[in-house]
Amino acid sequence: MKEFRIKLEGDQAHLGTVPAADVARLLLLIEKAAAQTAAVILHQPKTTTGRYRGVIEQAVHFRLHGIEEGSVVPVLELPEAGPPELGAVRALDFEVATLGESAVKALLDAARKPSEPLIAKAMLDVADGMLIGERYDAIVIEVPSNGQRPRKVKIDAKVRRRLRKYVDAAPVPASRTDDLVGSLVEADFERQTARLRTPTEPAVEVTFSDEHSDDIQAALRQSSTVRGEVLYDPKTHTAKRIRLTEIVRGIEQLALDPGEFWSAISFDELAERQAAGRPVDPDDLYDDAATDEERDAVMAALAEFE
């Protein structure tokens, strides 16, 4: 795919009538959506920071070839080949030659049948920004398809509503400062990435900056508590990625003493240590401060274990 066309449809979508600012906005929105989608493809949802920004900017650096007569049809050209820095991110299982092309195709897929919230949101932003269904009837994106008939996807009011419904219903990836416990392996000091093997996840992706390189080196293959901004899978609630801010040697989070773990302690000794072991009254175990909604929510969460 070298060129692709974006057709704006509607009463005002004609040369001589369409506000120039709307055409400019359309081009900027498409480029922004492609950049956001490229970031998702690279497993880097944030496009505002880091070395990926340059790669993504190059990949979606579309050139305007022209605006065709009749309806407003900007013709854009993709970069000739993958940007040279792309080789630096191949470790993320990214095999395609042209990131921009993949991003545009993923946007079209999202318009037809959204399956990734961030990409659907990127496409929705284009539809929202152009007031599709209000000021304009539709945007039609046309891309070549391996010498066959061009692939056309129309984003009209119906598609906009569908995207909105999907995005609103999609769980938002949760990111928060947290600690993860596991062994750091496969550190790549050029790419500043590593893998954290936890008891439940074989590969939590770790990214770090120069200042932490020595700490990473020292902590390799040892049990460590890795502290930072953790991105959790919204469905499984398991950690997927962490942006490192600090490494804590050992397992601080659980405060485990390895020797203590293996010592056999009788129930009476353990109960005495914890000032427990008295016969219980079930009514004392009841949490009367919780609301019905909180009780149902916890019970539903626990039911998922079964």
Partner 1 sequence: MQPDEVPSGPLAVDTDAFSAVHWGRGRRDEFAALIAGHPLAMPFPVVGELKVGAIRG
List of residues contacting partner 1 (CB under 8 A): 237, 267, 270-271, 276-283, 285-287, 290, 294-302, 304-305
Output 96 or 270, the one with its CB closest to partner 1.
270
At its nearest, how many Å lie between partner 1 and the CB of residue 68?
53
At its nearest, how many Å lie between partner 1 and the CB of residue 23?
47
Q: And the tokens for 279?
A: 């016969």
Output 210 or 287, the one with its CB closest to partner 1.
287
At its nearest, how many Å lie between partner 1 and the CB of residue 305?
6
Residue 177 Ramachandran class (φ > 0 left, ψ -120 to 50 alpha, else beta): beta
Output 16 or 279, the one with its CB closest to partner 1.
279
At its nearest, how many Å lie between partner 1 and the CB of residue 229?
17
At its nearest, how many Å lie between partner 1 and the CB of residue 285?
5
Contact indicator for 59, 85 with CB cutoff of 8 Å: no
Contact indicator for 208, 194 with CB cutoff of 8 Å: yes
Output 68 or 294, the one with its CB closest to partner 1.
294
Between CA 67 and CA 38, with CA 144 as vertex, the angle to 5 degrees is 85
279: phi then psi, degrees, rounded to nearest 5? -60, 140
Output 81 or 262, the one with its CB closest to partner 1.
262
At its nearest, how many Å lie between partner 1 and the CB of residue 181?
13
Output 146 or 291, the one with its CB closest to partner 1.
291
